[in-house]
Structure 1
Amino acid sequence: MEFPPIRVRLLRDGARIPSRATDLASGFDLSACIESPILVGNRPVLVPTGIALEIPPGIDAQVRPRSGLARQGILCTFGTIDADYRGELLVTLYAVAPGIEHTIEPGDRIAQLVFGLLAVARFELAADLSPTQRGAGGHGSTGR
């Protein structure tokens, strides 16, 4: 199935249309649209991309970390871009530990955008849920 086109609006000079680094990459790189460098440390920093998107209904768009930055201890928060949002995409970056810093330069690739088909769930109120082997076991309850 081919996705409908994602409409992109460039909001200012230096903004870049998201692009894949290779033909088989699942994510489209998002670039920083900034006039001067931004220092990322252990406090969240909003980095503008200079773009706004028109996501078609039924498409799920998620902002995810880039592995190259993650290897350096710099992550972005996962984010979902809703189909009715038309504002600028901002990426929240932070360092995973004190003492880690990274400078974002204009045009740097800072995150990736991944698309999928949106599953529209329907909820039903229930007095009981079917039993499973795990049951209500929490994080780590299935082993290491």
Structure 2
Amino acid sequence: MAESVNVLIIASVVPAYAHPGDAGADLVATEAVTLEPGARALIGTGVRIALPDGYVAFVVPRSGLAAKHGITVLNAPGTVDAGYRGEIKVTLLNTDRDTAYDVAVGDRIAQLIIMTVPPVHFVPVEELPDSIRGSGGFGSTGYDTQRSPR
């Protein structure tokens, strides 16, 4: 089991894990918003945190909202750096083409995942070492370009 870390927080509703062992703690809306089809909105959560150095928080979509209503986090994952002390806000996007979605105060709108990040030093070089993948990018592992469009 991973070692726990204390994260200082100011929040009207402290993020909570739905089940033991969950990676994401639920963030709730502090304001009511109607998301029309295709619309987006920046929604407050009332959460401010002080992450220790060497940690990052990611704001990610809730799978149930995405699957049932087409609601996602626009810039997922949203990155909260250790030095940020402002309110964590969530940019929700309604991808449904026909139906508006109402967000009520207290609704679970996203999840917060906290992870360690090692210090990184970028070392400029003239050439990179070879790898099995090489420079193969999008679709290089098997996308069929001859497939007919659906």
Q: TM-score scaled to structure 2, two decimals?
A: 0.84
33, 36, 40: which one aligns with 2:35: 40
8 Å contact kept, 1:31–1:49: yes
Q: Aligned residues: percent identity?
A: 36
Matched with 1:59 is 55
Q: In the alignment, which of 27, 30, 33 is matched to residue 27 of structure 2?
A: 30
Once residues 8 and 101 of structure 1 are traced to their aligned partners in structure 2, the CA distance between those partners, rounded to angstroms, is 33
Structure 1: where are the runs of 5+ without partners?
Answer: none
Measure, in 2, the Cα distance between the counterparts of 1:58 and 1:105. Answer: 34
For residues 132 and 52 of structure 1, the distance between their equivalents in structure 2, rounded to whole angstroms, comes to 41
C-alpha distance in structure 1 between counterparts of 2:116 and 2:43, whole Å? 27
Distance 2:52 2:87 in 1: 16
Match of 2:59, SS state, is: strand
Q: TM-score, normalised by structure 1?
A: 0.88
Structure 2, unaligned runs of 5 or more: 144-150
> Once the two structures are superposed, what CA deviation does each residue of 1:50-96 show, in whole Å capped at 9, x if it has no partner?
12111111112111100111112100132111111111110000022
Amino acid across the alignment from 1:38: V
Q: How many equivalent pairs are there?
A: 138
Find the residue that maps to 1:141 and give its secondary structure: coil
Supply the distance in 2 between the matched residues of 1:53 and 1:103 (Cα, whole angstroms). Answer: 27
1:112 CA displacement: 0.3
Aligned partner of 1:6 in structure 2 is 7
User: Does 2:18 correspond to 1:21?
Assistant: yes
Distance 1:25 1:132 in 2: 34
Q: Measure how far apart 1:39 and its partner are.
A: 1.1
What stretches of structure 1 move > 4 A for 4+ residues in a row?
A: none
Deviation at 1:2, TM superposition (A): 2.4
